[in-house]
Structure 1
Amino acid sequence: MTRQQPVDETGFLLTRQALDRQGRCELQFWVTTQAGPALLRVPDHEPLFFLPQAQQAQAEILLQVHGLAARFRPLALKSFAQQPVSACYLPSLSVEHRARTLLRQHGLALLEADVRPVDRYLMERFITAGVRFCGEASVHAGYREVRVTQLAPAEHAWQGRALSLDVECAPDGRLLCVGLCNQGWHTVIMVGAPRPSPADVKIEWVADERSLLLHLGACLRQQDPDLLLGWNLVNFDCRLLLRRLELHGLAADWGRAGQLARFWPSAEGKDTGTLLLPGRVAVDGIAALKSAGMHFDSYALEAVARQVLGEGKDLQGTAEHQREQAIVQWHQQDPVQLACYNLQDCRLVWELFDRLALLPFLQRRAQLSGLALERPGGSVAAFSHLYLPRLHRRGYVAPDRPQGPITPSPGGYVMDSVPGLYRHVLVLDFKSLYPSLIRTFAIDPLALVEGMLRQQDTIPGFLGARFAPEVAILPGLLAQLWQARDQAKAQQDAVLSQAIKLLMNSFYGVLGSPGCRFFDARLASSITLRGQWLMQQSRLWLQEQGYQVIYGDTDSIFVWLTPEQVSDPVAQGKALAAGINDYWRQRLVDEFGISSCLELQFERHYARFFMPTIRGQEQGSKKRYAGLVSSAQGDELIFKGLESIRSDWTELAKQFQQGLYWRVFHDEDVAAFVQQMVRQTRQGELDHWLVYHKKLRRPLAAYQLSQPPHVKAAIKLEAARQAAGLPPLYSRRGEIAYYQTLAGPEPVGHRQHAIDYQHYIDKQLRPVAEAILPWIGVSFEGLAGEQLSLF
Structure 2
Amino acid sequence: MTDAFLLTRQWRDTREGTVLDFWWATEEGPRWTRITGQEIVFFVPREHSEKITQLLLQAKPGKAAWRLADVPLKTFVNTPVSALYCQTQRLARDIQQQLQNANISCWETDIRPAERFLMERFITAAARIELPAPADAFQVQLNPPLTPIDYRPRLRMVSLDIETSMDAKSLYSIAVYSDEVARVFMVGEGENTGQLQFCANAKLCLCAFYQWLEKYDPDIIIGWNVVQFDLWVLECLSQTLGLSLALGRGQQPVHWRQEEGDGGRRFVTVPGRQILDGIELLKAANYRFDSFSLQNVSVELLDEGKLLTGNDRGEEITTLFQQDKLALAAYNLQDCKLVWQIFDEKKLLHFAMERSQLTGLLLDRVGGSVAAFEYLYLPRLHRRGYVAPNYGELQSDVISPGGYVMNSHPGIYDNVLVLDFKSLYPSIMRTFLIDPCAFWLAQHSDLPEDGVVQGFNEAFFARDGHILPGLIRHFSEARELAKRQRNAPLSHAIKIIMNSFYGVLGSTGCRFFDPRISSSITLRGHEIIQQSRDWIEEQGYRVIYGDTDSLFVHVEWANAAHVPKSEQQCQVIGQRLARELNVWWSNALKEKFNIESFLEIQFETHYVKFLMPTMRGSDEGTKKRYAGVVNNNGSPELVFKGLENVRTDWTLLARDFQMTLYARIFFEEDYEEFVREVTRKVLAGECDEALVYRKRLRRHLHEYQKNVPPHVQAARKLHQWTGALLRRGDWIEYVITTSGAEPLQARQSPLDYQHYVDKQLVPVADTILHFRQQSLQQLLDNQLSLFG
After TM superposition, the score normalised by the length of structure 1 is: 0.93
Q: Does structure 1 residue 96 correspond to structure 2 residue 86?
A: no
Is 1:471 aligned to residue 465 of structure 2?
yes
Aligned mate of 1:729, from 717, 726, 730: 726
AA partner of residue 8 (structure 2) = T
**Residue 350 (structure 1) aligns with:** 340
Secondary structure, aligned partner of 1:58: helix
2-side partners of 1:233 and 1:738: how far apart?
28
Choose the corresponding residue for 1:157, options 152, 157, 170: 152
Contact 1:235–1:271 (Cα < 8 Å) also in 2: no
Alignment-derived partner of residue 273 in structure 1: 266
The answer to whether the 8 Å contact 1:678/1:787 transfers is: no
Instruction: Tell me if structure 2 keeps the 8 A contact 1:165–1:230.
Output: yes
- CA offset at residue 332 of structure 1? 3.6
Question: Is the Cα contact below 8 Å between 1:163 and 1:225 reproduced in 2?
Answer: yes
Matches within 5 A, 1:433-512: 433-453=424-444, 454=446, 456-457=448-449, 458-512=452-506
Instruction: Check 1:749–1:333 CA distance in 2 against 1; reply closer, same or farther (3 A cut).
Output: farther
Describe the SS at the equivalent of 2:264. Answer: strand
Rounded Cα–Cα distance in structure 1 between residues aligned with 2:4 and 2:405: 47
Q: Residue in 2 aligned with 1:413?
A: 404
Q: What letter is aligned with 2:690?
A: W
Deviations along 1:650-677, whole A, 9 cap, x unmatched?
A: 1111111111111111111113332332
- The CA distance in 2 between the partners of 1:474 and 1:403, in whole Å, is 20
Q: Is the 8 A contact 2:22 2:34 kept in 1?
A: yes
Change (3 A) 1:400 1:595: same
Query: Residue 493 of structure 1: CA displacement?
Result: 4.1
Alignment of 1:136-285 (within 5 A): 136=132, 138-140=134-136, 142-174=137-169, 175-191=171-187, 193-195=188-190, 202-269=195-262, 271-285=264-278
| 413-422 or 143-152, which deviates more | 143-152
* Cα distance in 2, alignment partners of residues 414 and 677 from structure 1: 36
Cα distance in 1 for partners of 2:365, 2:396 equals 27
CA distance in 1, matches of 2:23, 2:783: 69
Offset at residue 126 of structure 1 (A): 1.0
Compute the displacement of 1:262 (Å).
Answer: 0.7
Structure 1, unaligned runs of 5 or more: 1-7
2:75 corresponds to 1:76 = no
**CA separation in 1, counterparts of 2:310 and 2:405?**
40
> Against the structure 1 CA distance between its residues 196 and 693, is the aligned structure 2 distance closer, same or farther, given a 3 Å change threshold?
farther
Q: Which residue of 2 is the match for residue 566 of structure 1?
A: 564
1:641 aligns with 2:634: no
Q: Does 1:397 align with 2:387?
A: yes
In the alignment, residue 140 of structure 2 is paired with which amino acid? E
The residue number in structure 1 matching 2:289 is 296
Give the 3-state SS of the residue equivalent to 1:447 in structure 2.
Answer: helix
Match of 2:83 among 87, 104, 107: 87
Task: State the shift of 1:315 in Å.
Answer: 4.5
Superposed counterparts of 1:22-61, under 5 Å: 22-61=15-54
Report the equivalent of 1:771.
767
When the two chains are superposed, the root-mean-square deviation of aligned CA atoms in Å is 2.4
Give the whole-Å Cα distance in 2 for the aligned partners of 1:715 and 1:657: 31
| CA–CA separation in structure 1 for the residues paired with 2:16 and 2:252 | 19
- For 1:92 and 1:267, the matched residues in 2 are separated by 26
Sort the Cα spacing of 1:171 and 1:785 in 2 relative to 1 into closer, same or farther, 3 A: farther
Aligned 8 A contact 1:679 1:788 in 2: no
Asked if 2 retains the 8 angstrom alpha-carbon contact of 1:679 and 1:787, the reply is: no
1:592 matched residue in structure 2: 593
User: Does the C-alpha gap of structure 1 residues 469 and 297 become closer, same or farther in structure 2, counting only changes over 3 Å?
Assistant: farther
Matched, 1:106 2:106: no
Give the superposition deviation at 1:573: 0.9
CA spacing shift, 1:213–1:61, aligned 2, 3 Å: farther
Shift of residue 734, structure 1, vs aligned partner: 2.2
Q: Deviations over 1:173-195 (max 9, x none)?
A: 3133322211242223233x325
Residue 149 of structure 1 deviates from its aligned partner by 2.6
- Stretch deviating more after TM superposition (250-259 or 738-747): 738-747
> Aligned partners of 1:329, 1:28: CA distance in 2, in Å?
46
- CA deviation digits over 1:392-422, x for unaligned, max 9? 1111111122259887632111111111000
Whether 2:749 is the aligned partner of 1:753: answer yes
Deviations 1:64-107 (A, max 9, x none): 33336102211111111212221122222332333333333332
1:742 aligns with 2:727: no
Structure 2: unaligned runs, 5 residues or longer: none
Deviations 1:260-283 (A, max 9, x none): 101111235563132110000011
Q: Secondary structure at the match of 1:566?
A: coil
Aligned length: 771
SS in 1 for 2:746: coil
Which of 512, 527, 531 in structure 1 is aligned with 2:521?
A: 527
Match of 1:629 in 2: 630
| Secondary structure of the corresponding residue to residue 109 of structure 1 | coil
Relative to structure 1, the CA distance from residue 787 to residue 226 in structure 2 (aligned partners, 3 Å threshold; closer, same or farther) is farther
Contact 1:624 1:640 in 2 (8 A): yes
Q: Bigger CA drift: 413-422 or 513-522?
A: 513-522
Aligned letter for 2:175? G
Q: CA deviation at 1:558?
A: 0.3
Equivalent residue, structure 2, for 1:551: 545
**1:482 to partner: Cα distance:** 1.7
